[in-house]
Amino acid sequence: MSETGKGVNAGKLAINVQKRITRAQEKMMQKLGKADETKDTAFEEGVANFNKQMTEGTKLQKDLRAYLTAVKTMHECSKHLQDCLADMYEPDWFGKEEMDALAEDTDLLWGDFHQKLSESALTSMDTYMAQFPDIKARIAKRDRKLVDFDSARHHFASTQKSKKKDEAKIAKPLALMEKAAPGWAQGIITAHQVAQTNLSRSQAEEELGKAQKVFEEINYELQEELPNLWNSRVGFYVTVFQSVAGLEEKFHREMGKMSQNLFDVMTKLEEQREANEEAANHNATVSESDKTSPETKLKQGPPVPRPPRPSLTIEAKQDIINLFENAVVTETNVTALSQSDGSTVGNLLDMDLDAVRVISTSPDPQTDIAVSKQPNSATNVTNGSSDAELPPGVIYKVKAMHDYAATDSDELDLKSGDIVLVLPFENPDEQDDGWLLGVKESHWLQNKDLAVKGVFPENFTQKL
C-alpha cells in the first residue's frame, strides 16, 4: 500500500511539474509574439474592480478594528476615572449613592457600546471579507486554465500541420525501404505511420477538449460572481456605517444624560459646601488654623438692609441750635435722644432755657451725649461709656436695639437686649464702615473667652 501510494504521488507530482513547464513555455511564446493569447476585456475589467474592492475592504476592516481598539481603551480610561472619583467621594457628601450609580452605569454603557459594535459592524466586516480569498484563488486558477487551454489549442494546431507533412512523406516511400523490404511489408510500414499520426492528432484534440471544458466552467462562474460582488459593496457599506452611526448616536445621547447628571451632582455638592459654611456653629470653639478670622474677611457693607436710625429734622436741629446758641454742640447721639424719658423735640422747645446746661462735649463721634431732665434743675449730660469692669482688650460695651440674623460664618446673631463687648480689629484697615467686632457678654461671663467673636452692624446697637 505504501509503495502504491508513493507511486501515485510521484506520478501526480510529475504531471504537475510537466504542466508548469508547459505553461511557462506557453507564456514565453505569447510574450515573444510567437503564440496568440486569448483575451477577455470584460473579465479583465471585473478582475480590476475585484482587486480595488478587496483593497478598500481590507483597509476598512483594519480601520474598524483600530476604532474598536480605541473604544475599548476609552472604556478602560473612563472606568479608571469614574473609579477614582468614586473613591475620593466621601460618604457624607451630597449624592454619594448617585455618584456610585453613575460610575456603574457609565461602565455598563461603554461595555454595551463596544460589544454591539463588535457584533454588528466588525462581524459583518469579517464575513464580507471572508469571500475574497476564495474568489482570488479561483481567478488565479482560471488564469492557469486559460494558459492550458491556449497551449492545448496551439498543440492541436501543430498536430494538424504535422499530419499534412506526414501524409506527404508516406506518399513517397523511401528508396532504402523499397529496396530492403519486400512488397508485402511496405504496406504495413505505411499503415503504422498513418496510425501514429492519427493517434497524436486524436490525443491533441482530446486534450484540447478537456482544457476548454475546465476553463469554460470556472470562467462562467466568475463571469457571474464578479459583477454581483462589485455591486454588493454599496449595500454593505451602507449597512456597516448605519450600524456604527446608530450605535454612536445612542451611546452619546445616553452618555450626555449621565454627564449632565454628574454636572448637577457637582453643582449641588458645591452648594452644600457653601451652605455648611453658612450654617457653621458660631458658638463652637474651633482652632484658629481651621477657620477664617473675622478680621481678615473684608466686607463690602451690611449684607441685609438695617433698620434706619432715627434722625432729627433740619428744623428741629435749628431749634436746638437756637436754644443752645451760647453752647458748642459737636455731635448728638440720635439713638440716645430717642431713648430718653419720652421727651420729644417739642418738649425741648418748651424747656426753660436757663435750666439747660451742657456738661460735656466730645469730638469723638462714638461719644454719646445723654440728656436728662430733672425737675427745677438743669439737664445733666454725661458720658455713658465706662471702662469699669471691662475685660482686657475690650474697648466698650454696646446693647442690641434690634434683632440681627447672621448671614455669614464670621457674623454674630443678635437679639434685642444682648450686651456685646466691642473689640478692636487687629488690622484697622480691615474694618468696614458701619461694622464692629465683638463677643457677647453672656459668652464672656460663662467661658471667659474672647476667641469666639464676630462682626455685626453698628447701627443695630447703642453704646453703653
Q: Which three cell numbers stand for residue 331?
A: 455731635
pLDDT score, position 164: 55
**Residue 391 to residue 396: CA distance in whole angstroms:** 10
pLDDT score, position 149: 79
Q: Which three cell numbers stand for residue 241?
A: 456605517
430 in Cβ contact with 295 (< 8 Å): yes
What is this structure's pTM?
Answer: 0.48
**Residue 324 to residue 356: CA distance in whole angstroms:** 8
Amino acid (one-letter) located at 273: R
Domains, the chain: 17-278 (1.20.1270.60), 288-463 (2.30.30.40)
Q: What is the mean pLDDT of each run of 10 residues along the chain (464 residues)?
A: 53 71 72 73 92 95 95 95 90 90 93 93 92 93 83 77 56 50 52 54 78 86 92 93 95 94 92 83 48 44 44 48 46 41 42 40 40 37 49 91 88 92 88 89 86 89 92
Residue 398: name the closest of 335, 326, 445, 313 by CA: 335
pLDDT score, position 370: 36
Return the bridge partners of 462, or none. 399
**Residue 224 to residue 233: CA distance in whole angstroms:** 16
Amino acid (one-letter) located at 366: Q
Angle between helical axes of 123-171 and 2-32 (0-180°, round to 10): 80
pLDDT score, position 50: 95
SS3 state at 411:
strand
